[in-house]
């Protein structure tokens, strides 16, 4: 399968209205450009039992359909291992024994991007590496990057240039790192269009660069504005009745939730099918949607 858009939730809990809005946008971008739409569950980390099933049920309930089987990252470790092995064979990896604190304390390389890994373990001698290995601390595997920034095109943000450092490919606990898995998965699922929240914009130069190193096509990107609470912080479940089950408990139907999300995008629609007829990516609001969950209750339901 080729030419697909996707949504890739982390199954750490229920999706809230902000997540559902991003999922609807990813679905709309894909379906209005004759693409397939695939789902992936990012379940290598932060998994809550039953959350993935609930997320898929909620997506279906608001009218999102998808093609083919859902991919689960926890079943794909062979693919990640193969990608890391390919980079290692090309001399593009090294073992890193730094703790998080050591990285924070080390001065950033003189010409490196702010916050970048300072390269402490990059040029260890064999003796130094053996000494660190002997300490018993498990090594992370890092990419030996030969650029410190990378530019990609974003449908909403235009040419975007951001930092690339010697990013982690496999964490010290053995788990393949997000920046690697996302690149491998998107390629394997035929994803050539990535639509996701703009909180991930700064990670994208690393991912696009990694794709080129692995000989994979760089997808087109659209990083969409997030939903914020009235304090300007990213909407979270603690902000109130913001998940689909919360909204149902408050008397809303899934169509009411779709209507609310459609309204935030400037459309009057109650189903994703209606939205699909109306959607124009060029008209997408460029600013975050500020949502006050306390204002969501209908007047007759106010305590």
Check whether 237 is labelled as a binding-site residue.
yes
Instruction: Considering only the stretches 2-10, 78-86, 93-101, 123-131, report the one whose residues sit in contact with ligand GLU under the rule CB under 6 A.
Output: 2-10
Which range binds ligand GLU by CB under 6 A, 7-15, 94-102, 146-154, 265-273?
7-15
Specify the residue, 184 or 261, whose C-beta has the smaller distance to ligand GLU: 184
Any idea what DSSP says for residue 188? Answer: H
Q: Find out whether 166 is annotated in a ligand binding site.
A: no
Nearest CB to ligand GLU, comparing residues 121 and 195:
195
What is the C-alpha separation between 274 and 261, in angstroms, rounded?
13
For residue 296, how far is the Cα from the chain centroid?
27
Work out whether strand 36-41 and strand 4-7 pair parallel, antiparallel, or are unpaired.
Answer: parallel
Q: Where are the alpha helices (DSSP H) in 164-271?
A: 178-188, 204-213, 244-249, 254-264
Site residues (CB under 6 A) for ligand GLU, limited to 41-60 = 42
In 3D space, the residue among 172, 153, 19 whose CA is nearest the CA of residue 99 turns out to be: 172
Q: Is 9 annotated as a binding residue?
A: yes
| Spatial separation of the C-alpha atoms in residues 176 and 189, rounded to whole Å | 18
Number of residues that bind ligand GLU (CB under 6 A): 7
Nearer CB in complex with ligand GLU: 37/94: 37
Nearer to ligand GLU, 98 or 193 (CB): 193
In DSSP notation, 53-93 reads HHHHHHHHHTT----SPPEEGGG-HHHHHHHHHHHHHTT-E
Residue 231 CB, shortest distance to ligand GLU, in Å, is 21
Q: Where are the alpha helices (DSSP H) in the chain?
A: 17-31, 51-61, 77-89, 100-105, 126-134, 178-188, 204-213, 244-249, 254-264, 272-278
Binding segment toward ligand GLU, per CB under 6 A, in 3-11, 31-39, 90-98, 258-266: 3-11
Residues 164-203 that bind ligand GLU (CB under 6 A): 182, 196, 200
165 is in an annotated binding site: no
Among 4, 8, 24, 62, binds ligand GLU (CB under 6 A): 8
Site for ligand GLU in 206-265 (CB under 6 A): none
Strand partners, 150: 162
Known binding-site residues for Zn(2+) equal: 96, 98, 117, 121
- Which residue ranges make up the site for ligand GLU (CB under 6 A)? 8-10, 42, 182, 196, 200
Q: Which residues are annotated as a binding site?
A: 6-10, 42, 96, 98, 117, 121, 178, 196, 237
């Amino acid at each position: 399968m080729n030419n697909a858009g996707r949504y890739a939730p982390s199954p750490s809990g229920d999706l809230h209205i902000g997540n559902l809005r991003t999922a609807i946008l990813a679905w709309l971008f894909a379906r209005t450009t004759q693409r397939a739409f695939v789902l992936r569950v990012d379940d290598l980390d932060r998994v809550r039992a039953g959350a993935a099933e609930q997320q898929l049920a909620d997506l279906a309930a608001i009218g999102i359909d998808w093609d083919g089987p859902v991919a689960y990252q926890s079943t794909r470790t062979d693919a990640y291992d193969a990608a890391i092995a390919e980079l290692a064979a090309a001399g593009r990896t090294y073992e890193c024994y730094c703790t998080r604190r050591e990285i924070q304390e080390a001065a950033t390389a003189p010409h490196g991007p702010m916050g970048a890994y300072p390269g402490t373990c990059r040029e260890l001698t064999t003796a130094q590496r053996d000494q660190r290995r002997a300490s018993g601390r498990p090594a992370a595997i890092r990419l030996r990057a030969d650029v410190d920034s990378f530019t990609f095109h974003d449908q909403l943000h235009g040419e975007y240039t951001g930092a690339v450092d010697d990013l982690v490919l496999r964490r010290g606990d053995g788990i393949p790192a997000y920046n690697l898995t996302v690149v491998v998965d998107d390629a394997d699922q035929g994803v050539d269009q990535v639509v996701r929240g703009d909180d991930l914009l700064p990670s994208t130069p690393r991912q696009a660069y990694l794709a080129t190193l692995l000989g994979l096509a760089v997808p087109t990107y659209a990083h969409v504005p997030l939903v914020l609470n009235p304090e300007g912080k990213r909407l979270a479940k603690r902000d109130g009745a913001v998940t689909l089950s919360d909204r149902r408990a408050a008397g809303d139907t899934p169509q009411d939730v779709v209507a609310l999300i459609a309204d935030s995008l400037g459309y009057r629609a109650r189903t994703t099918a209606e939205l699909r007829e109306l959607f124009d990516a060029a008209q997408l609001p460029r600013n975050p949607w500020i949502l006050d969950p306390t204002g969501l209750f209908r007047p007759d339901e106010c305590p």
